[in-house]
């Protein structure tokens, strides 16, 4: 029996969706505006996407963004998967405390995390300079910062994926003669794989979109796409920046759809 929704609730839901997505839709529409200045529509064009990729600073930012996103996703996926599997498989004294620490980077405001990492890098710089080493914020500081918050998302995704399964399947495989390695490779790992892939896609998307943590930890000579957009917007919003924002939205949406598709089989069984 289908339950009908109250009309007022439907109207309220559409208003909320409009509030959330109309600004994004405006940015995408005006990335095809033939006018360079203002919000006046002067006709449809795709030339701003060509202008965008002709800019050397944009190409450099794209390379920086993808390098950080790919490397940080690989490292955080491995570490986060190990943490998620450990929390699912083992019971130990500080398990609850470790779970709380995993959630903390997710709920802490980005600006707090960015400032704390900036201060940490400053202390490290002072220590290295006293030892005769030089240290500047840039690629490696941003990479470590992204790995720091990505691990939590991967670990929690893997743990939630395995939460519906007990250790009985693994123990049954051991009873049938499988070794610990084979029971892990042929039982646990296939069950965890959708969660691992979804966590990796989520980490990749977060790295692509991150501005606050990157802004605090990148220094003056290293820029990713979100930081580049911010520095350009301060001089005024132009259609090529709208085009860059639209491409970021497109990549993010594709990654989110892929992550949801990977988690869908578990939901359907539930």
CA distance 91 to 47: 58
DSSP state of 45: -
Average pLDDT over residues 206-235: 85
pLDDT of residue 81: 92
CA distance 106 to 206: 11
Cα radius of gyration rounded to whole Å, the chain: 23
The listed range with the strongest mean pLDDT (67-76, 131-140, 230-239, 258-267) is 67-76
Structural domains of the chain, with CATH: 56-262 (1.10.3720.10)
Query: Which segments of the chain are extended strands (E)?
Result: none
Q: What is the pTM of this model?
A: 0.79
DSSP letters, 64-111, are HHHHHHHHHHHHHHHHHHHHHHHHHH---TTHHHHHHHHHHHHHS-HH
The listed range with the strongest mean pLDDT (74-78, 109-113, 190-194) is 74-78
Nearest to 265 by CA among 133, 166, 165: 165
């Amino acid at each position: 029996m289908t339950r009908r929704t109250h009309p007022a609730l439907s109207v309220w839901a559409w208003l909320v969706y409009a509030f959330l997505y109309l600004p994004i839709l405006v940015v995408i529409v005006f990335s095809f505006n033939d006018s360079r200045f203002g919000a006046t529509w002067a006709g449809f064009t795709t030339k701003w996407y060509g202008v965008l990729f002709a800019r050397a600073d944009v190409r450099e930012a794209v390379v920086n963004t993808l390098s950080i996103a790919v490397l940080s996703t690989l490292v955080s996926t491995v570490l986060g998967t190990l943490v998620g599997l450990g929390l699912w498989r083992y019971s130990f004294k500080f398990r609850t405390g470790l779970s709380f620490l995993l959630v903390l980077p997710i709920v802490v405001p980005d600006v707090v995390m960015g400032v704390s990492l900036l201060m940490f890098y400053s202390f490290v710089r002072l220590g290295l300079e006293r030892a005769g080493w030089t240290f500047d914020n840039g690629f490696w500081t941003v990479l470590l910062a992204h790995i720091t918050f990505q691990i939590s998302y991967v670990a929690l995704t893997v743990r939630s994926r395995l939460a519906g399964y007990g250790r009985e399947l693994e123990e049954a495989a051991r009873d049938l003669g499988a070794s610990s390695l084979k029971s892990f490779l042929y039982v646990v790992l296939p069950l965890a794989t959708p969660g691992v892939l979804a966590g990796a896609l989520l980490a990749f998307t977060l790295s692509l979109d991150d501005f606050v943590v990157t802004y605090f930890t990148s220094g003056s000579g290293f820029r990713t796409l979100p930081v580049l957009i911010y520095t350009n917007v301060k001089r005024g919003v132009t259609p090529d920046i709208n085009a860059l924002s639209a491409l970021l939205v497109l990549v993010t949406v594709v990654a989110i759809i892929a992550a949801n598709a990977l988690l869908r089989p578990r939901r359907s069984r539930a």
